[in-house]
């Protein structure tokens, strides 16, 4: 187990550097000069541009910029945005909001998705099963931003239960609607995955054995069926936490949640390189740690999987 | 689109007692079937290929038929939009007030679905918008299938150090969320066309296919017919493309079909955010985005492009579902 974790962590290192380098190159070496863009329509004074570029290390070749950035990163310095505010400051404001939003969406999709999946998987061909299938298909095919507008129109404009946009991003009750919209797509996937997985396992020999032993239905479902059916679902959920935070770009924009999605969108549009790289770097770390945890969870769920 | 399919759950289904040649091509198969029918109907059953089997299964599925008809209609709409409407989708005439409700009597006419805030016919724009979505969907899928398929094939076939390096590169690209990466890449294009979107999504989207392909190749590589092929002196290229590829492609086709709908949705999201397609390209995403301003007073301005987009995505996902069920008998 220990050596497996070590090997996985070692594998993560090149992926971490590769992904951050990729995003770094995408942000800094593609056409479009962020410094001249700062001046808007006015003609920029070449001396001022050169001095700003020097301050932000932009006059160096890209690999030097990257090494410089990484060197600072390992000292906990995410750099400074072009507005002069430290990127870590910007992230400290925005990340708590998005983490809450993503966690709420995550709990929502996990609880409801599993429940719907188990329900339809156990009763294949029933009305409930057909309903779940149709409902999930509809949710999957409606793009998130359309779903957000539908939710806004129904719950805010027509029913008046909530305000159309979030007034206070730190108020959890206001985040319920955005979180539901954010988690709905993954909810549909979780439900469908669980359904398929349960359907496959229902026919397995160990279930027949459990039934033959006379175990109560509840025990068979929770101990035997569910535990074995969860592996593909856990894989999906693990990679989804990172995806939720990245996917928050659309939801946060429509509901005016002041999280990283909003900050990131603005930063990309204004070519705010340091902010974009900083946020994406954190997202990559979240993704890497989550996929490591998923691999470790496999061994808990299925004792046959051992990491020597 | 997130990876909803456990790559391990796709295994090719080599049938015992059937040589690899029988899988290799449908055309050769058909001839063989014809002759067998006359001689011995029982044998015909045994020799049916995975593809023949899947096709037989698909033809009987209502979901497949519905989605196939829808997709066919959308493709025709994308190629010949003028066959569906006489109205110019770019003609803005403020005489056409967007607050006037859709005129249901005006079937196939400019005012059928009403007009948008700039007085353009929503019906015509919905029809002409199909082209951008379908083009992006098909070309991105083709690009990621070739790119990811080759990468996965190389990683799975050669194994060892090659696999380690290629798989890490795949991991690196997989770590960047598609939408975020596409936003950053597309921001570099001063003018963005359908092709810039295809390039951005293609460069970032191939990893899922590569992983699925690698998994399938790893399984097929062990099969007896590959060993036999190698023993008979088949070269690397022949083994890869004539023996392994036809038997490992099934899960890739399934994932690619489902992903196609996802790419269409991603293009619409990018256009909606203002970093995807630009005017004068007609895109449902742009139309939904501009409908935001009038959503309270005229929800139908948003409804029709949104419905067209959803139905298109739905059609491709249903097609993918049906193909998966047909190719993977384990799920039946």
Judged by average pLDDT, the poorest of A15-19, A47-51, A264-268, B193-197 is A47-51
- The helix/strand/coil state of A53 is helix
**A189 to chain B: closest CA residue:** B4
Q: Is the pLDDT of residue B301 over 60?
A: yes
In sequence order, the β-bridge partners of residue A291 are none
Q: Is the pLDDT of residue B147 over 70?
A: yes
Q: What percent of chain A has pLDDT over 90?
A: 7
Q: Does the CB of B165 have a partner CB in chain A at under 8 Å?
A: no
Whole-number pLDDT of residue B37: 46
Q: Does the CB of B330 have a partner CB in chain A at under 8 Å?
A: yes
Which residues in chain A belong to E strands, given as ranges?
none
Contacts of B179 in chain A (CB under 8 A): 246-247, 249-250
Q: Do A18 and B172 touch (CB under 8 A)?
A: yes
Q: What is the mean pLDDT of residues A138-143?
A: 88
Same domain membership, residue B134 and residue B37: no
Domain boundaries, chain A: 91-272
Residue of A140, A164, A240 to mutate, testing the B interface (most B Cβ within 10 Å of its Cβ): A140
Whole-number pLDDT of residue B206: 92
Check residues B19 and B65 and name the one with the higher pLDDT: B65
Same domain membership, residue B139 and residue B41: no
Q: What is the mean pLDDT of residues A128-134?
A: 89
Whole-number pLDDT of residue B33: 46
Q: What is the pLDDT of residues A228-259, one digit of tens each?
A: 888 888 888 887 877 787 778 888 888 888 88
Q: Is the pLDDT of residue A52 over 50?
A: yes
Whole-number pLDDT of residue B25: 40
Whether residue B308 lies inside any domain: the answer is yes
Q: How close, in Å, is residue A146 to chain B by CA atoms?
A: 7
Whether residue B31 lies inside any domain: the answer is yes
Same domain membership, residue B200 and residue B182: yes
Same domain membership, residue B161 and residue B31: no
| Local confidence band at B19 (pLDDT 50, 70, 90 cut-offs) | very low
Same domain membership, residue B134 and residue B122: yes
Check residues A207 and A31 and name the one with the higher pLDDT: A207
Judged by average pLDDT, the poorest of A104-113, B29-38, B298-307 is B29-38
Whether residue B90 lies inside any domain: the answer is yes
Q: Which of A11, A192, A265 sits opposite B273 (nearest CB)?
A: A265
Whole-number pLDDT of residue A241: 79
Same domain membership, residue B238 and residue B135: yes
Q: Does the CB of B161 have a partner CB in chain A at under 8 Å?
A: no
CATH number at residue B240: 1.10.3720.10
Whether residue B3 lies inside any domain: the answer is no
Question: Between A and B, how many CB-CB pairs are < 8 A?
Answer: 134
Whole-number pLDDT of residue A286: 84
Whether residue B289 lies inside any domain: the answer is yes
Rounded to two decimals, the ipTM of the complex is 0.83
Q: Do B176 and A19 touch (CB under 8 A)?
A: yes
Judged by average pLDDT, the poorest of A24-38, A77-91, B190-204 is A24-38
Q: How close, in Å, is residue A72 to chain B by CA atoms?
A: 22
Q: How many domains does chain B have?
A: 2
Whole-number pLDDT of residue B46: 54
Report the alpha-carbon distance of residue B156 to residue A143 in Å, rounded. 34
Whether residue B321 lies inside any domain: the answer is yes
Q: Do B176 and A284 touch (CB under 8 A)?
A: yes
Same domain membership, residue B97 and residue B32: no
Report the alpha-carbon distance of residue B42 to residue B192 in Å, rounded. 58
Same domain membership, residue B66 and residue B21: no
Q: How far is CA B94 from CA A242, B97, B118, B119, B280, in A?
A: 45, 6, 6, 5, 18
Which 8-state DSSP code applies to residue B240? Answer: I
Same domain membership, residue B211 and residue B83: yes
Residue A72, Cβ density class (10 Å: 0-12 exposed, 13-18 middle, ≥19 buried): middle
Terminal alpha carbon distance of chain B: 24
The range of the structural domain enclosing residue B35 comes to: 14-46
Q: Do B273 and A283 touch (CB under 8 A)?
A: no
Whole-number pLDDT of residue A306: 63
Report the alpha-carbon distance of residue A105 to residue B17 in Å, rounded. 50
Report the alpha-carbon distance of residue A121 to residue B319 in Å, rounded. 21
Chosen domain end from B6, B22, B46: B46
Q: What is the pLDDT of residues A261-273, one digit of tens each?
A: 888 888 887 778 8
Same domain membership, residue B181 and residue B40: no
Whether residue B204 lies inside any domain: the answer is yes
Residue A4, Cβ density class (10 Å: 0-12 exposed, 13-18 middle, ≥19 buried): middle
Q: Is the pLDDT of residue B307 over 80?
A: yes
Q: Is the pLDDT of residue B201 over 80?
A: yes
Q: What is the mean pLDDT of residues B279-302?
A: 82
User: Rg of the Cα trace of chain A?
Assistant: 24
Q: What is the pLDDT of residues A180-219, one digit of tens each?
A: 998 998 899 899 889 988 888 888 888 889 899 988 988 8
Mean pLDDT score across all residues of chain A? 83
Q: Is the pLDDT of residue B282 over 60?
A: yes
Q: Is the pLDDT of residue B72 over 90?
A: yes
Whole-number pLDDT of residue B139: 94
| Local confidence band at B48 (pLDDT 50, 70, 90 cut-offs) | low
Q: Do B177 and A242 touch (CB under 8 A)?
A: yes
Judged by average pLDDT, the poorest of A235-244, A281-290, A295-304, B279-288 is A295-304
Q: Which of B172, B272, B317 sits opposite A145 (nearest CB)?
A: B272
Whole-number pLDDT of residue B20: 40
Q: Do A146 and B309 touch (CB under 8 A)?
A: yes
Q: How close, in Å, is residue A137 to chain B by CA atoms?
A: 7
Q: What is the mean pLDDT of residues A22-41?
A: 74
Q: Do B179 and A249 touch (CB under 8 A)?
A: yes
Same domain membership, residue B113 and residue B42: no
Mean pLDDT score across all residues of chain B? 79
Q: Does the CB of B272 have a partner CB in chain A at under 8 Å?
A: yes
Same domain membership, residue B159 and residue B28: no
Judged by average pLDDT, the poorest of A20-24, A86-90, B64-68, B93-97 is B93-97
Q: Which residue has the tokens 């298909």?
A: A137
Whole-number pLDDT of residue B223: 85
> May I ask the CATH class of domain A91-272?
mainly alpha
Would you mind telling me the total number of residues written for chain A in this entry?
308
| Local confidence band at B153 (pLDDT 50, 70, 90 cut-offs) | very high
Whole-number pLDDT of residue B9: 41
């Amino acid at each position: 187990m220990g050596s497996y974790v070590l090997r996985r962590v070692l594998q993560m290192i090149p992926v971490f550097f590769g992904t951050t380098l990729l995003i770094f190159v995408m942000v800094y070496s593609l056409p479009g000069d962020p410094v001249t863009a700062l001046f808007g329509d006015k003609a920029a004074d070449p001396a001022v541009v050169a001095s700003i570029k020097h301050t932000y290390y932009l006059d160096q070749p890209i690999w030097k910029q990257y090494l410089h950035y990484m060197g600072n990163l390992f000292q906990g310095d995410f750099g400074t945005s072009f507005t002069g505010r430290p990127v870590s400051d910007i992230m400290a404001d925005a990340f708590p909001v998005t983490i809450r939003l993503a966690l709420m969406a995550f709990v929502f999709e996990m609880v409801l998705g599993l429940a719907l999946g188990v329900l339809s998987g156990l009763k294949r061909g029933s009305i409930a099963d057909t309903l779940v299938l149709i409902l999930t298909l509809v949710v999957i095919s409606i793009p998130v931003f359309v779903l957000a507008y539908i939710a806004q129109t129904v719950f805010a404009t027509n029913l008046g239960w909530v305000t159309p946009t979030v007034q206070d991003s730190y108020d959890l009750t206001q985040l319920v609607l955005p979180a539901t919209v954010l988690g709905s797509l993954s909810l549909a996937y979780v439900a469908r995955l669980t359904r398929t997985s349960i359907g496959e396992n229902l026919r397995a020999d160990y279930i027949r054995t459990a039934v033959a032993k006379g175990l109560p239905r509840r025990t068979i479902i929770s101990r035997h069926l569910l535990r074995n059916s969860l592996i593909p679902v856990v894989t999906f959920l693990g990679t989804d936490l990172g995806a939720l935070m990245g996917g928050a770009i659309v939801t946060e924009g429509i509901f005016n949640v002041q999280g990283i999605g909003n900050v990131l969108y603005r930063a990309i549009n204004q070519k705010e390189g340091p902010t974009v790289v900083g946020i994406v770097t954190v997202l990559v770390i979240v993704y890497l740690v989550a996929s490591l945890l998923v691999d470790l969870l496999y061994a808990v769920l299925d004792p046959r999987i051992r990491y020597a | 689109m997130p990876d909803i399919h456990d790559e391990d759950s796709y295994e090719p289904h080599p049938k015992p007692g059937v040589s690899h040649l029988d899988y290799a091509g449908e055309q050769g198969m058909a001839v063989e079937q014809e002759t067998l029918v006359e001689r011995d109907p029982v044998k015909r059953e045994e020799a049916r290929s995975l593809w023949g089997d899947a096709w037989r299964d698909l033809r009987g599925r209502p979901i497949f038929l519905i989605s196939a008809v829808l997709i066919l209609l959308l493709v025709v709409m994308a190629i010949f939009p003028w066959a569906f409407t006489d109205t110019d989708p770019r003609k803005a005439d403020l005489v056409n007030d967007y607050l006037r409700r859709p005129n249901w009597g005006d079937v196939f006419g400019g005012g059928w679905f009403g007009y948008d805030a700039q007085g353009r016919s929503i019906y015509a724009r919905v029809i002409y918008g199909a082209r951008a979505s379908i083009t992006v969907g098909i070309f991105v899928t083709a690009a990621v299938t070739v790119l990811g398929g080759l990468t996965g094939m190389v990683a799975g076939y050669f194994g060892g150090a090659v696999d380690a390096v290629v798989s890490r590169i795949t991991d690196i690209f997989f770590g960047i969320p598609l939408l975020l990466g596409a936003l950053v890449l597309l921001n570099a294009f001063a003018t963005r066309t359908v092709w810039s979107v295809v390039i951005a999504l293609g460069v970032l989207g191939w990893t899922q296919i590569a992983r699925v392909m690698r998994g399938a190749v790893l399984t097929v590589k062990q099969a007896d017919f590959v060993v036999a092929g190698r023993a008979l002196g088949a070269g690397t290229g022949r083994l890869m493309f004539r023996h392994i590829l036809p038997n490992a492609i099934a899960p890739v086709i399934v994932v690619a079909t489902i992903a196609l709908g996802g790419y269409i949705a991603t293009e619409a999201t990018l256009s909606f955010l203002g970093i995807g397609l630009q005017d004068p390209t007609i895109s449902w995403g742009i139309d939904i985005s501009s409908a935001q301003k009038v959503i309270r007073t005229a929800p139908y301005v948003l409804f029709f492009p949104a419905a067209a987009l959803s139905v298109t995505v739905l059609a491709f996902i249903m097609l993918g579902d049906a193909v998966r069920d047909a190719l993977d008998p384990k799920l039946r």
